[in-house]
Amino acid sequence: DGGITQSPKYLFRKEGQNVTLSCEQNLNHDAMYWYRQDPGQGLRLIYYSQIVNDFQKGDIAEGYSVSREKKESFPLTVTSAQKNPTAFYLCASRLAGGLNEQFFGPGTRLTVL
């Protein structure tokens, strides 16, 4: 089955710890994205990557880091510098070029205690 996998669905961490959220896609998509969603808010772009080994900051990149070593994987690390990390995190991917929409994964709900 082709799609985007985010694991785990729910993640709990203690304050001050870094945590890495996984995002894998087997759609052979070129571009990948990370969004954050807070209650009653739309999605806000954290980071995106259009090709392997390259990525750009989105609107709220502070306190986050990413890597893109493989086309199918785009992990997001939430560092201790992120002041309010508790949120719902969504990963998306897209085939480059043309008018291709973004496809989204199921999301990871991160709770920092």
Partner 1 sequence: AQKVTQAQTEISVVEKEDVTLDCVYETRDTTYYLFWYKQPPSGELVFLIRRNSFDEQNEISGRYSWNFQKSTSSFNFTITASQVVDSAVYFCALSEGQGGSEKLVFGKGTKLTVNP
Q: Smallest distance from the beta carbon of 35 to partner 1, in angstroms?
A: 8
Check binding of 45 to partner 1 (CB under 8 A): yes
Check binding of 102 to partner 1 (CB under 8 A): yes
- Say if strands 10-13 and 31-37 run parallel, antiparallel, or are unpaired: unpaired
Q: With beta carbons less than 8 A apart as the criterion, state whether 105 and 23 touch.
A: yes
Q: Smallest distance from the beta carbon of 80 to partner 1, in angstroms?
A: 25
Q: With beta carbons less than 8 A apart as the criterion, state whether 26 and 3 touch.
A: yes
List interacting residues with partner 1 (CB under 8 A).
31, 40-45, 48, 50, 58, 88, 90, 92, 94, 96-107, 109
